[in-house]
Structures are given as structure tokens and as C-alpha cells.
């Protein structure tokens, strides 16, 4: 079992980077303003990345930066300087989707590890070796591999292997899709994906309409949720477990990272025990943040119709994020919180955090910083003191089971 397996989390900005690290990520990946997919999620200036690297270092964590566009002729300008900057501020690795950039990094910024992006659709150990020979230090597998294939691939590969365990899935081979280019002039391989795969389509055979008007064709995939495979992946020798979602909220990051962190730690501590209960607990926790239906992707085989999204799937998130804890006063047994969503006195809430187990409590008292009683918290970023049934810590979060 790879007890040192890395939990790799996404971050769309510095706040989410810090959340991911506080909640247990071993490494965080992010995108800069250029050279990165998910351009809307790439809010990091070099100074932000430097601060993120420093912050992560305090927790023994790494920062990986996506340089994962599939470049056109015009896209190389400034790349060398950018790579040198990343190296100089202590970034651990860059995630790359271009063979020439793999080689370039090794020349220009040799202290950076190069992780080959899933955009390159690596599905076998010979492909992994090809990229290893070019200089890749790690290969992120295509999401099309089954667990059995991952196991065999790890056994036959010299390069460390990274696999996705959670989050959105491209329905097509990542990087081999230009639906967005053709339909919106936005290049999916240069950060502009419009997710045209998730749109609705009529299906015809010659002049005969096959599709059902009340359930049109779509290429949308359910999200990946692979908690039940974490033990297999650790035993297979996977080097890193990756969570997708640089666009996701801090609450989502906190819940998902913490759930996998706790599961990995439990598996490390109990390698010979039946993990069913721990996996089930992780899955229940993940559903408290997951707002789309989930499946296990290709891990058990080729996805069937039940693994696709053909309708506007309703939100399935089971909990609402309400507030973040800023401070705790042990003398009063109260916590200072910052409000993010509407809630009121008398409701049953739940606090949780990196070091706080899920702690349900009834909200009995709430007052603002001037000591005025507050019956309903409904102002964004409003600060209130509330009763706390346990020792709360800064950056703990408060949520509520979704109202029916």
C-alpha cells in the first residue's frame, strides 16, 4: 500500500488554496493568468502563487501550477519567463499538456517537476514511458482507465501515476474535444470550454427522429466520486489522488478534501480492516457538498446510460453552507462567525472543521458585535457571536441540512 499517497486538491484563488491546505490536502493545483485551462478559474498572479507556496509550505504541502493549454503558435510568448518565475518562488510542479513544453521546462526551469496532463489521454504503460522519456516526472492518467487497468499500469510504469478520484468528468477523451471550438469559438484546449457536451441535442437517423422530446440526447457525464476505490488505488501504488474543480466553492473544497483526507488516514491506520464503514462515511460526507449526481466513471468499466446526465439534473447537495468561524471565546463558550447564507435562531446547524468532527447543535443565541440580539442572519459577511457546543476554531465551517 502506498501510505504516502498524495491528496491533490484544486484551488481557484488564494482563499480556496488555503482552505484546501487547512482541510488536509497534501498538494494544491492552480492556474495562473496564462497558459492554463479553466481560464475563468485562473485568478492567480505570480505574487498570489508565491503567497500560496509559502502558506502551503507551512503545512508541508506543495503547489502545482497548470501550464496545460495545448498551445498554438501564438501561445509561447512569455512562457520561459513564466516558468522561471514559478521555479524561483518555489512551485513544486507544473502540469503540462504539450510534449515540447515538457522538454522546455526541463531546460528552462529544471527544478520544477513536470506532470503530464490528463489532456494527453495516457491509457497504457508504454504511453507513460514515452512521456517519461521526454522528461515527465509524473503522468496523470486518462479518466477512461478502469481500476484494473490502473493497477496493471502502475505495476508496469516507471513514472509515478496520478489519477482522478472526484469531480467533473469530460465525456470525451480530455483534450480530444473541440465541440466548444466549433459551437462557441471558445477553445476547450486553451481554457475556454463552454461545456457544449452538456447541451441538449436531437438525435436522428437519416430523416427519422430517434430522440425523445422529453429526454433529449446529451453527452453530459455524472461527476466522479471514487471513495470506494481509494483503498485499491493506494494498494495499486498510485502516487497521487486528484480532485477536480478549480471553479468550486471553498465550502465544496473543504468538505471534499476533508472527506478524502479522513478516509486516506483511516486506511493508513487500518490497512487490514474492512473499509466499508469508512468509505460509506466518506460518501455521506461528500454528498453534503456534491451538487450533481455522481458515479464511479470508468473505474468499474465502460459507463452505461445510468452514468450520463440526460436531463437537467436537480441539485442533490444535502447541506447548505451558512457561515465560517472566525474566532472562539472559551470563557463565554461562543464563536464569532461570518455569515454566508440565511439562517435563524432555533435551527439545527452543524459545525465541522479540519480538527472538528461533525458537531450538530441548536442555534440558541446570536448577537452582533455590538451585543444586539439577532434573530435572523441574513446579511452577507455579517459577523455574529453564537453559542458553540464545543471548542470551535478559526476556519471551521457551519452548515445546515438542506430544507425540504
Partner 1 sequence: MKQINWIAALQQTAALPALKESGITTIRIGVEGYSVRAARLFSSEEAAVIAAACQNLGLRWEIVFNRLWMEEELPEMEAKLKQIQSWNPDGIVYMDPAVFMLAKVLGIQDRLIYAPDTLTTNSQDIQLMLDMGVGRVVLAAEITLEEILQIAEKVEGSRLELQIHGRQVMAYSRRPLVSNYLQMIHKTVEDLPHQRGLYLIEATRSGKMPILEEAAGAAVYMESTLCSFAQIRQLAASGIGNFALDSLFSCDQQLIEARQAYAAVLGGADPMEMQAQLTERWPQMNYGSGYYAMKTNLTKEDAA
Going from the C-alpha of 209 to that of each of 140, 183, 309, 396, the distances in angstroms are: 40, 22, 20, 53
* Of positions 12, 20, 32, 39, contacts partner 1 by CB under 8 A: 39
* Of positions 173, 198, 368, 382, contacts partner 1 by CB under 8 A: 173
* Of positions 1, 194, 281, 390, contacts partner 1 by CB under 8 A: 194
Angle subtended at Cα 182 by Cα 177 and Cα 183, rounded to the nearest 5 degrees: 105
Nearest residue (CB) to partner 1, 104 versus 242: 104
Stretch that binds partner 1, among 82-90, 91-99, 319-327, 333-341 (CB under 8 A): 91-99
Nearest residue (CB) to partner 1, 216 versus 345: 216
Contact call for residue 120 and partner 1 (CB under 8 A) = yes
Contact call for residue 117 and partner 1 (CB under 8 A) = no
Nearest residue (CB) to partner 1, 34 versus 401: 34
Assess contact for 216 and 202: CB atoms under 8 A.
yes
DSSP letter at 403 equals P
**Cβ of residue 82: shortest distance to partner 1, in angstroms?**
16
Assess contact for 66 and 101: CB atoms under 8 A.
no
How many angstroms separate the first and last alpha carbons of the chain? Answer: 42
* Of positions 6, 144, 228, 396, contacts partner 1 by CB under 8 A: 144
Q: How many CB atoms are located within 10 Å of the residue 43 CB?
A: 18
E-strand stretches of 292-382? 294-295, 308-309, 319-329, 334-339, 343-344, 348-353, 356-362, 366-368, 376-377
* Of positions 12, 175, 275, 353, contacts partner 1 by CB under 8 A: 175
> Which residues, numbered 239-298, are part of the site for partner 1 (CB under 8 A)?
298
* Of positions 73, 272, 274, 370, contacts partner 1 by CB under 8 A: 73
> Which residues, numbered 209-238, are part of the site for partner 1 (CB under 8 A)?
210-212, 215-219, 221
* Of positions 129, 283, 291, 341, contacts partner 1 by CB under 8 A: 129
> Which residues, numbered 293-332, are part of the site for partner 1 (CB under 8 A)?
298, 302-305, 307-308, 310
Nearest residue (CB) to partner 1, 52 versus 303: 303
Nearest residue (CB) to partner 1, 88 versus 201: 201
Stretch that binds partner 1, among 160-168, 193-201, 367-375, 384-392 (CB under 8 A): 193-201
Contact call for residue 126 and partner 1 (CB under 8 A) = yes
Q: What cell numbers appear for 384 in the block? A: 455574529
Contact call for residue 80 and partner 1 (CB under 8 A) = no
Beta bridge partners of 65: 30, 94
**Cβ of residue 341: shortest distance to partner 1, in angstroms?**
26
* Of positions 2, 172, 365, 387, contacts partner 1 by CB under 8 A: 172
Residue 120 phi/psi, 5-degree rounding, is -85, 0
b/e map 81-120, b = 16+ CB within 10 Å: ebbebbbebbbbbbbbbbeebbebbeebbeebbbbbbbbb
**Cβ of residue 177: shortest distance to partner 1, in angstroms?**
4
Task: Give 224's contacts (C-beta < 8 A, 6+ positions apart).
Answer: 143, 164, 165, 166, 167, 168, 169, 244, 294, 295, 296, 297
Contact call for residue 71 and partner 1 (CB under 8 A) = yes
Task: Give 295's contacts (C-beta < 8 A, 6+ positions apart).
Answer: 221, 222, 223, 224, 225, 303, 306, 307
Number of residues counted as binding partner 1 (CB under 8 A)? 82
* Of positions 28, 37, 67, 153, contacts partner 1 by CB under 8 A: 153
Residue in 207, 254, 225, 267 with CA at minimum distance from that of residue 394: 254
**Cβ of residue 102: shortest distance to partner 1, in angstroms?**
9
Q: How many CB atoms are located within 10 Å of the residue 345 CB?
A: 15
Q: What cell numbers appear for 198 in the block? A: 452538456
DSSP letter at 375 equals S
Nearest residue (CB) to partner 1, 1 versus 216: 216
Amino acid at each position: 500500500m502506498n501510505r504516502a499517497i498524495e491528496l491533490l486538491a484544486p484551488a481557484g484563488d488564494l482563499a480556496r488554496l488555503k482552505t484546501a491546505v487547512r482541510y488536509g490536502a497534501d498538494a494544491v493545483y492552480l492556474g495562473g493568468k496564462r497558459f492554463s485551462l479553466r481560464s475563468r478559474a485562473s485568478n492567480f498572479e505570480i505574487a498570489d502563487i508565491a503567497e500560496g507556496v509559502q502558506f502551503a509550505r507551512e503545512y508541508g504541502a506543495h503547489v502545482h501550477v497548470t501550464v496545460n493549454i495545448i498551445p498554438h503558435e501564438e501561445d509561447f510568448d512569455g512562457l520561459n519567463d513564466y516558468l522561471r518565475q514559478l521555479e524561483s518562488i518555489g512551485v513544486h510542479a507544473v502540469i503540462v499538456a504539450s510534449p515540447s513544453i515538457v522538454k522546455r521546462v526541463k531546460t528552462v526551469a529544471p527544478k520544477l517537476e513536470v506532470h503530464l496532463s490528463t489532456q494527453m489521454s495516457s491509457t497504457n504503460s508504454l504511453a507513460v514511458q514515452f512521456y517519461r522519456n521526454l522528461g515527465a516526472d509524473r503522468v496523470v492518467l486518462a479518466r477512461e482507465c478502469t481500476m484494473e487497468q490502473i493497477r496493471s499500469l502502475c505495476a508496469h510504469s516507471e513514472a509515478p501515476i496520478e489519477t482522478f478520484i472526484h469531480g467533473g468528468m469530460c465525456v470525451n477523451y480530455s483534450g480530444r474535444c473541440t465541440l466548444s471550438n466549433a459551437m462557441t469559438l471558445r477553445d476547450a484546449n486553451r481554457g475556454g470550454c463552454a461545456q457544449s457536451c452538456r447541451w441538449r441535442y436531437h438525435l436522428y437517423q437519416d430523416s427519422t427522429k430517434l430522440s425523445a422530446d422529453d429526454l433529449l440526447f446529451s453527452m453530459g457525464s455524472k461527476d466522479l466520486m471514487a471513495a470506494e476505490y481509494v483503498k485499491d488505488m493506494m494498494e495499486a501504488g498510485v502516487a497521487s489522488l486528484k480532485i477536480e474543480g478549480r471553479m468550486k466553492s471553498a465550502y465544496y473544497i473543504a468538505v471534499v478534501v476533508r472527506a478524502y483526507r479522513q478516509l486516506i488516514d483511516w486506511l493508513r491506520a487500518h490497512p487490514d480492516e474492512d473499509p466499508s464503514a469508512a468509505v460509506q462515511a466518506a460518501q455521506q460526507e461528500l454528498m453534503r457538498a456534491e451538487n450533481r449526481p455522481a458515479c464511479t466513471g470508468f473505474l468499474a468499466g465502460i459507463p452505461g446510460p445510468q452514468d450520463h446526465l440526460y436531463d437537467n439534473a436537480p441539485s442533490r447537495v444535502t447541506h447548505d453552507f451558512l457561515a465560517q468561524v472566525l474566532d472562539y471565546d472559551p470563557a463565554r463558550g461562543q464563536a464569532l462567525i461570518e455569515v454566508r447564507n440565511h439562517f435563524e435562531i432555533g435551527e439545527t446547524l452543524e459545525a465541522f472543521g479540519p480538527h472538528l468532527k461533525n458537531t450538530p447543535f441548536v442555534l440558541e443565541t446570536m448577537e452582533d458585535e455590538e451585543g444586539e440580539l439577532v434573530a435572523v442572519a441574513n446579511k452577507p459577511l455579517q459577523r455574529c457571536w453564537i453559542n458553540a457546543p464545543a471548542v470551535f476554531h478559526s476556519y471551521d465551517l457551519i452548515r445546515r441540512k438542506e430544507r425540504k
